[in-house]
Chain A
Amino acid sequence: MSASEKSVQYTKKELPANVSKFGIALLAIGLVIIVIGYLTEPTRSAFNNIILLMFLTSIGLGSLFLVAIEYVGGAVWSTPFRRMPEFLSSLVVVLPLIAIPLLFHLHDIFHWMHPEAVETDNILQGKAPYLNTNFFIIRVFAFFIIWFVFYKLLTRNSKLQDNTSDQHLTTKNIRISAIFMPFFAITITFTAIDWMMSLEPHWFSTIYGVYYFSGSVLAALAASTFIIVWLNERGYLVEGIISDHYYSLGALLFAFTNFWAYIAFSQFLLIYYANLPEETFWFLQRWEGNWLIMSLVLIVVHFIVPYFGLLSQPSKMNPKRLMFMSVWILFAHIVDLYWLVMPTFSRDGIILGWVELGYPLAAFGILILVFVQKSKKENLIPIGDPKLKRGLDFRL
């Protein structure tokens, strides 16, 4: 083909100023609400802060996973827009800042941090070697450092390649990604256990880490997909990203929507069927009072709507539908995290007010600003990547 013989033409364009203004506005409103929230209702704010932290961890760490899986799997089709998950994965740098306010409220959040409760509780005593304050803080920061190191290693090589076009950098990144995989699996599992599962320290579910993983990768994919489609439709990316690429992104979104439902249902079915009181109380909490509404809303929002929204082939190729479903899935992930975290804080029923609204605003503000910051400094396309041209020639 004549088109494929040309080299890739890319000229960097600045993102419109409105985008960063929009991001700043969201973050400002969010921050004001967060500060007021912490002054008036510190415990409630702290619980919302966990949702914020877990949401941004989802997207940051999930994006890093998407970058790594592309290298490990030798994927070609996603190379032209690999920078989007790369930029989003820089969220792992911001995560410690979001965790800091939580460190002052750990005692309010975690039941197992109360020494008087542990003293009279055999189960908590048995879990104490893992669930103790010092080890918890060590883990949290060790994970931040691990993510930061892998983020730096992977993106540094990728950035370097823009100038040198050195193929060995790809080989290096494949090795780094392969090493990252087990670290990713372990850290994301224990992150989910530490921040969310240990909110109910008597409860346990062996599939919990996978559950958070499925939601995380889905959210990271949704964020990347939205940005890719938005930028590409406005011509910020390179020519050649077409409906075949969109279809693959949509298919991945669809697949991970199903994967999430599969894992969520697996967790529910085993506990429902075994019917052991030590496990069922967690679901009963979410099945009583108006938490039941939230549980049903979660099924509809997180599974049924994305499932039928992305079922047909044309819907995966339609840019508008893809962008809408991406935002929808990000919203659904917040609902999912809310459903995981908040019943511990408010056992009597759904609690939804201005505090709960402020955190998602801040989350989207941070997302946009981090992305804009990164896109100012770097190319939106990995122009030196040897797989780039093959990726643009990708057809279904």
Chain B
Amino acid sequence: MAEKILYSYTGLFDTPDEIIHAAKKVADEGYTKFDVNTPYPIHGMNNAMKLKPSKLGYVALVFGLTGAFMATMLMYWMMAIDYPIVIGGKPFFAFPAFIPVIFEVTVLSASVATVLTMLFVFFKFPNNSHPLHGTEYMKQVSSDKYGISIQADDPIYETDKVKALFKELGGKNISPVYYDNEEINAKHKIFEPKFVGLLIVAALLVSGTTYIVLNKLMFMTPFSWMMEQDKAIPQEINTFFADSLGMRNPVEGTIARGFIPYLYKGEPELAAANLVNPLLPTKEVMAQGKKNYDTFCSPCHGYFAEGDSRLRGQFPNPPSLHSQKAREWSDGMLFHIITEGQNVMPSYASQMTRQERWATVLYIHALQRAFNAKETDLK
């Protein structure tokens, strides 16, 4: 057994009025290191004990503002810069629509940070030992008594004076509390077997529940009703229409608004003669053309259009685009081939917009020129 050290002297009182009065007196005497323990919070105790307002509010303020700022920047980055999508005809940075999210993140970060700060900074978590724990005094004040404990390390502490003060105030059970230095300062291991066991049980419970919910429960009636809906689903037989297709074609003889259909279907000569590239070979257009060429064309034609497919062996190799024939094709011809496909090559109309196809055509021409440069280009 280690040596017992005096922690504090305690006194018990019977009514909330008495404890308020006593706390006031103790504070007036000049004691600063004392605490009041009651079974429930007592209104007005802060003032009686002359406590300063808690600093916790500032923590909430700082983390709340941080949360608000982070949420704003997060949505600005995602919705307006990294992946801008028009939603409901709103601007990319649709501030009113972001306010609920900003509000929620503010509240979340402020509350979580406040609780964590309280636990780890103010309560010194995970150290949960306190000299008052397990004492007779603590048993009394957690049932029906109100107690004051004046600590021995208070600058004006003197045992006799404290005893006399408690007596004068009408305190009962005036008694000392001792503590064991080693026990109080014992370092707790975070990964105790019990705690590790708890983590394992929690992990099993969470993963098991998730598995059952997502793989079993969802397919039981009535939960499966959510999946069995009378609506058109891609790749599924549709019993509503005679042709069993869910997707419908536009009504014959109509075109979508603001869209002109491709005029030279199956007519490469007309396309070659009549189509004119609407784009100029600017830096941006060439960058776009390179991006699309590398994505859609290079797997078969190779990065430099030499016909050196990365898929060599799986498909018939495409011819080089540096042949005399290919180099003499007009922009319109190349555009037509990308749009309609040729021989084994499929149509890329659905992968690339018209603008992108024209840009790709310019990039192909640049590649051709690079391999068959004229004398003047080299100067």
Contact = CB atoms under 8 A, between A and B. Distances in A.
B133 interface: no
A275 B94 CA distance: 13
B interface secondary structure, majority: helix
Interface string A251-280: 000000000000001001100110100000
B99 A265 contact: yes
A244 B47 CA distance: 10
A214 B28 CA distance: 45
Contacts of A275: 88-90
Most buried by B among A1, A244, A394: A1
Interface residues of B, number: 16
Nearest to B54: A313
Given A269-B99, A275-B89, A394-B43, A4 B53 contact: no
A272 B96 contact: yes
Interface string B88-110: 11100000110110000000000
B99 A396 contact: no
Nearest to B45: A395
Interface in B44-74: 44, 46-47, 53, 57
Contacts of B361: none
Nearest to B61: A311
Nearest to A272: B96
B244 to A, nearest CB: 36
A395 B47 contact: yes
Contacts of A395: 43-44, 47
Contacts of A1: 17, 20-21
B365 to A, nearest CB: 45
A1 B19 CA distance: 10
A252 to B, nearest CB: 17
Interface residues of A, number: 13
Contacts of A265: 96, 99
Contacts of A273: 88, 90, 96-97
A396 B42 CA distance: 9
A269 B97 CA distance: 7
Interface in B17-40: 17, 20-21
A313 B46 CA distance: 14
Contacts of B90: 273, 275
A4 B15 CA distance: 14
Contact of A396 (B44, B89, B100): B44
B85 to A, nearest CB: 15
A273 B95 CA distance: 11
A313 B47 CA distance: 14
Contacts of A394: 43
Given A4-B17, A275-B88, A275-B89, A313 B53 contact: yes
Most buried by A among B21, B96, B97, B100: B96
Nearest to A244: B44
Interface in A371-396: 394-396
Interface in A1-32: 1, 4
Contacts of B89: 275
A200 to B, nearest CB: 21
B94 to A, nearest CB: 8
Contacts of B44: 244, 395-396
Interface string A271-297: 011010000000000000000000000
B43 A396 contact: yes
Contacts of A396: 43-44, 46
A269 B20 contact: no
B96 A268 contact: yes
A79 B154 CA distance: 41
A265 B100 CA distance: 10
A313 B99 CA distance: 26
Contacts of B99: 265, 269
A270 to B, nearest CB: 10
A166 B112 CA distance: 49
14 contacts: A1-B21, A244-B44, A265-B96, A265-B99, A269-B96, A269-B99, A269-B100, A272-B97, A273-B90, A275-B88, A313-B53, A313-B57, A395-B43, A396-B44
Nearest first, the 3 A-B pairs at minimum CB distance are A395-B44, A395-B43, A1-B17
Interface of B: 17, 20-21, 43-44, 46-47, 53, 57, 88-90, 96-97, 99-100
